[in-house]
C-alpha cells in the first residue's frame, strides 16, 4: 500500500492500464458518491478525509467528473436509504457505501443496481447480491485479540468486552470473533460487555458505569476508538490497568507509549485502516471502466506491535488514527489477487 499517487502518476498509470486492457473505457464523465452513515469518531473522520483527498485528486486529474461525499445526520438505515435514493435521482454512476446495516439497506441498494448504478460497500458492507463488498475479516480480528491475550496471560482471567455501534455488521463480526476466541481459550471469561460506539468518550462513560459491578479484570477486548477511554475509566476508579487491546487511534498510541516508558506496558493494536475508503473509490472507478471485479474483496487489517509503536505514533496526526491510503495501482492489485 502506498501514499496517494501524484496527478501525473495517476494519469500515466490509468493510461497504461487502458492500453494494457483494451476493454477498459474512460471514466472522465462518471460521477461517484460516498454514502456514509456515521462520522462520530476519529476513524470515521479519517475515513472521510482519505476519501475526499482521493476523490478530489481524481477529479483534478480528469479520471472522474465528481467524487462527492455525504454523511447522514443520524445513524439510521431509513435515513441512509433515502440518501441512496436521492443519489440515484441525482444521476450518480456509482455509490461507495459504508452502511448502517448489512440488510436494512438492501432494498435501496437493489433500486440503485436496477437503475444501472454501481454500488461498492466497504467496512459496513451490505448483503444485497448486486453490490460489491470490501472488508477485512473482522471475526478473525476479534479472535486474534483473544489469541494475543492467551500468549500474554496464559493463566487467563476475567475479560471486559467493549463493543462498537449496535446493529452494525462490523460490531457483530468482531464480537463474534472475540467469543470464538474465548471458547477456544477457556481460561478466559467475559464478565462484562458494554457498547462504546467506537468513541473514547462513550467508551469511558460506559466502562465507568459497569466497573463497580465487575470482579478483577485482567484484559479488555475492544473494537477500536475505545481503548484510551477504557484506560481512563480504570484509572479514575483506582483499579489496576488491565491488558487493553487498542485500536490504532493516536490518543491510544500516545497513552501506550507513555505507559511503556513509565512501566514497560506492552500490548497490541489493530484495526481496519480508514484508507479502505480510497480502495472502495478506486474499485468503483475500475468497475465503471469495464473491469471485471469479483463481488467480494478482502484486505488485511492494520496491526501495530510494540516494535512498530514509535513509527506508527510519529506518522499518526494528533486526534486521528493510523492509516494507509490505497492508490489505483493498489486497487488493481487487490482485484487481481481476488481473481
Same domain, 254 and 332: no
Q: Quick check: is 2 in a domain?
A: no
Same domain, 118 and 42: yes
Same domain, 43 and 159: no
Q: Quick check: is 54 in a domain?
A: yes
| Cα 93 from Cα 87, distance rounded (Å) | 9
pLDDT of 5 above 90: no
Q: Quick check: is 314 in a domain?
A: no
Same domain, 196 and 234: yes
Q: Which position has the grid cell 462490523? A: 170
Same domain, 125 and 204: no
Same domain, 102 and 161: no
- Give the orientation angle of helix 42-60 with respect to helix 7-20, to 10 degrees: 70
What's the pLDDT tens digit per position in 194-245? 999 999 999 999 999 999 999 999 999 999 989 999 999 999 999 999 999 9
The total domain count for the chain is 2
pLDDT for the residue numbered 80: 97
Largest CA-CA distance found in the chain, in angstroms, rounded:
66
What's the pLDDT tens digit per position in 55-70? 999 999 999 999 999 9
Q: Quick check: is 285 in a domain?
A: yes
Q: Residue 13: left if φ>0, alpha if ψ -120 to 50, beta else—which one?
A: alpha
Q: Quick check: is 45 in a domain?
A: yes
pLDDT of 9 above 60: no
pLDDT of 2 above 50: no
Same domain, 24 and 119: yes
Q: What is the CATH number of the domain that holds 247?
A: 3.40.50.2300
Same domain, 203 and 260: yes
Q: Quick check: is 307 in a domain?
A: no
Q: Quick check: is 315 in a domain?
A: no
| Cα 136 from Cα 280, distance rounded (Å) | 13
Same domain, 122 and 154: no
Same domain, 16 and 129: yes
**pTM for this model (two decimals):** 0.81
Same domain, 142 and 131: no
Same domain, 266 and 142: yes
pLDDT for the residue numbered 288: 98
Q: Quick check: is 313 in a domain?
A: no
What does the block give as the cell for 7? 496527478
What's the pLDDT tens digit per position in 174-193? 999 999 999 999 999 999 99
Domain of residue 121, residue span: 7-136+273-300+321-338
Amino acid at each position: 500500500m502506498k501514499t496517494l499517487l501524484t496527478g501525473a502518476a495517476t494519469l500515466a498509470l490509468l493510461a497504461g492500464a487502458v492500453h494494457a486492457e483494451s476493454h477498459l473505457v474512460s471514466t472522465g464523465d462518471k460521477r461517484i458518491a460516498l454514502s456514509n452513515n456515521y462520522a462520530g469518531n476519529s476513524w470515521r473522520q479519517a475515513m472521510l478525509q482519505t476519501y475526499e483527498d482521493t476523490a478530489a485528486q481524481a477529479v483534478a486529474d480528469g479520471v472522474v467528473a465528481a467524487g462527492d461525499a455525504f454523511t447522514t445526520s443520524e445513524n439510521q438505515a431509513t435515513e441512509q436509504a433515502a440518501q441512496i435514493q436521492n443519489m440515484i435521482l441525482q444521476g450518480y454512476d456509482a455509490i461507495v457505501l459504508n452502511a448502517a446495516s448489512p440488510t436494512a439497506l438492501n432494498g435501496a441498494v437493489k433500486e440503485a443496481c436496477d437503475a444501472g448504478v454501481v454500488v461498492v460497500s466497504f467496512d459496513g458492507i451490505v448483503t444485497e447480491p448486486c453490490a460489491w463488498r470490501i472488508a477485512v475479516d473482522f471475526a478473525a480480528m476479534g479472535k486474534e485479540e483473544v489469541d494475543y491475550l492467551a500468549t500474554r496471560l496464559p493463566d487467563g482471567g476475567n475479560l471486559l468486552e467493549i463493543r462498537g455501534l449496535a446493529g452494525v455488521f462490523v460490531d457483530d463480526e468482531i464480537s463474534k470473533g472475540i467469543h470464538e476466541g474465548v471458547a477456544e481459550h477457556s481460561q478466559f471469561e467475559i464478565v462484562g460487555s458494554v457498547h462504546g460506539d467506537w468513541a473514547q468518550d462513550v467508551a469511558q462513560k460506559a466502562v465507568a458505569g459497569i466497573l463497580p459491578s465487575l470482579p478483577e479484570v485482567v484484559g479488555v477486548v475492544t473494537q477500536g476508538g475505545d481503548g484510551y477511554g477504557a484506560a481512563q475509566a480504570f484509572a479514575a476508579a483506582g483499579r489496576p490497568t488491565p491488558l487493553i487491546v487498542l485500536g490504532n487511534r493516536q490518543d491510544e498510541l500516545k497513552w501506550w507509549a507513555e505507559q511503556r516508558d513509565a512501566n514497560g506496558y506492552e500490548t497490541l493494536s489493530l484495526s481496519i485502516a480508514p484508507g479502505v475508503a480510497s480502495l472502495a473509490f478506486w474499485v468503483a472507478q475500475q468497475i465503471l471502466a469495464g473491469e471485471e471485479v469479483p463481488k467480494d474483496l478482502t484486505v488485511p487489517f492494520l496491526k501495530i506491535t510494540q516494535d512498530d509503536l514509535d513509527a506508527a505514533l510519529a506518522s499518526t496526526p494528533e486526534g486521528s488514527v493510523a492509516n494507509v491510503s490505497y492508490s489505483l495501482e493498489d486497487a488493481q492489485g487487490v482485484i487481481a489477487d481476488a481473481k
